[in-house]
């Protein structure tokens, strides 16, 4: 008679092996992308920075709709002089009953104090002006058509315009959420318009530097030999020249007084072409390692062309580094553009950028700090954007690097 076997524990298989736990089953079915997403969500600062930057770019895209006034619309003549007007006070209660009512403002008029010689603004309490939403203002090109260059729009006949703005007030009242500049232009709107240049320059210049660094570094590491020597010596030449001096020298090749669109293209091109060296150096090292992998050797043995092997098998292996490098390059270019505009070599009037607005604030000297501190708000946004991009880069690095995953 066969010996009696003890019953299998609940959930055990007939072979006696314990089944995989739900956690193990989940891990077996988890893709690399889902692991990266899960790890990235654990980095709270990176997640917050991602949503914050998304809000910045959304506001910049719809700046014409959100801002109550046009980018160059000013109030500096006669009774409508609003030069350095302080932030407008918004009232929410009825002055007679004290009950909540729709928001309204009072028109203001400028007066000069005979003792201090300072210009002050006095409210006209006899004429409350309600804040209205979805009002008609100056015309603008709506997004996404505004992303198309003007020449292409004119050639294709795409001349559509819009004039609806999120909020506004009827003249003679004005509404300045964050005060006005020396020309009576709305600082709130100028910051939104300036974000389109300051934030876009960072992305486009980083994209150029990344593409050049990936291609040249990948070719140098994969091909080796003379090509490797030439590329690395070129990187060393760029590294020996201080980037600021090189940037200023290249910018000096172009006239100072050129239109803002041309300056934008020049800055993007220069920043991208002088910053690819560090990326190429790292990608070269990765390519030297990846070209010895079995799947790369197999592709070469099957007769794949070198360009195909490089683009399909070697460079994809550098994607983790490329994503992190791209996110960390953007804040450095934002600071560089701000510095050039501050020095008068970047974006010029009537366009707007955060660096240009800081240059205007600097012209006011100590009075900017004591009498009109709202002129320093662009510096706060530069600080927030740079900090957010750095937190985002840290989160991507932690999520993409297996050694740093929690």
Instruction: Write down the pLDDT at residue 229.
Output: 93
Contacts of 214 (CB under 8 A, 6+ apart): 279, 280, 283, 315, 318, 322
CA distance 176 to 107: 11
Annotated domain spans of the chain: 65-184, 188-404
Is the model more confident about 304 or about 209? Answer: 209
CA distance 295 to 293: 6
Q: Check pLDDT > 80 for residue 20.
A: no
Instruction: Write down the pLDDT at residue 36.
Output: 83
CA distance 53 to 198: 13
For 198-250, what is each residue's pLDDT tens digit? 999 999 999 999 999 999 999 999 988 899 999 999 999 888 888 778 888 88
CA distance 335 to 385: 10
Contacts of 275 (CB under 8 A, 6+ apart): 205, 209, 243, 329, 332, 333
Is the model more confident about 305 or about 251? Answer: 305
Instruction: Write down the pLDDT at residue 402.
Output: 63
Q: Which residues in 159-174 are b (16+ Cβ under 10 Å) and which e?
A: eeebeebebbbeeebb
**What's the predicted TM-score (pTM) here?**
0.83
**CATH superfamily ID and name for 188-404:** MetI-like (1.10.3720.10)
């Amino acid at each position: 008679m066969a010996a009696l076997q003890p019953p299998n524990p609940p959930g055990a298989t007939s072979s006696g092996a314990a089944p995989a736990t739900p956690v193990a089953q989940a891990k077996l079915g988890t893709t690399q992308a889902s692991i990266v997403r899960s790890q990235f969500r654990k980095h709270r600062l990176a997640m917050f920075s991602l949503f914050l930057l998304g809000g910045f770019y959304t506001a910049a895209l719809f700046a014409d709709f959100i801002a109550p006034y046009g980018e160059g619309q000013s109030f500096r003549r006669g009774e409508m002089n609003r030069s350095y007007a302080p932030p407008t006070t918004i009232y929410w209660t009825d002055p007679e009953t004290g009950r909540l009512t729709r928001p309204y403002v009072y028109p203001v008029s400028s007066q000069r104090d005979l003792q201090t010689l300072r210009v002050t603004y006095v409210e006209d309490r006899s004429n409350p002006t309600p804040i209205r939403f979805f009002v008609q203002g100056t015309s603008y090109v709506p997004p996404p058509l505004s992303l198309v260059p003007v020449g292409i729009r004119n050639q294709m006949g795409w001349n559509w315009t819009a004039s609806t703005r999120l909020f506004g007030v009827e003249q003679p009242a004005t509404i300045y959420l964050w005060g006005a500049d020396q020309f009576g232009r709305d600082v709130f709107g100028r910051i939104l318009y300036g974000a389109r240049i300051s934030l876009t320059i960072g992305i486009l210049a980083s994209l150029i530097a990344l593409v050049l660094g990936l291609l040249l570094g990948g070719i140098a590491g994969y091909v080796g030999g003379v090509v490797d020597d030439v590329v690395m010596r070129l990187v060393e030449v760029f590294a020996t020249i201080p980037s600021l001096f090189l940037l200023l020298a290249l910018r000096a090749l172009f006239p100072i007084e050129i239109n803002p669109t041309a300056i934008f293209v020049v800055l993007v091109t220069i920043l991208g072409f002088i910053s690819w060296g560090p990326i190429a150096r790292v990608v070269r090292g990765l390519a030297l390692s990846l070209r010895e992998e079995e799947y790369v050797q197999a592709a070469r043995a099957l007769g794949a062309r070198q360009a195909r092997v490089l683009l399909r098998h070697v460079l994809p292996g550098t994607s983790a580094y490329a994503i992190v490098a791209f996110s960390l390059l953007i804040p450095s270019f934002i600071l560089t553009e701000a510095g050039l505009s501050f020095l008068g070599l970047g974006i010029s009037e009537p366009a707007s950028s955060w660096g240009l607005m800081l240059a205007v604030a600097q012209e006011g000297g100590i009075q900017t700090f004591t009498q009109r501190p709202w002129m320093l708000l662009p510096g706060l946004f530069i600080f927030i954007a740079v900090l957010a991009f750095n937190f985002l880069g840290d989160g991507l690095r932690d999520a993409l690097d297996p050694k740093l995953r929690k």
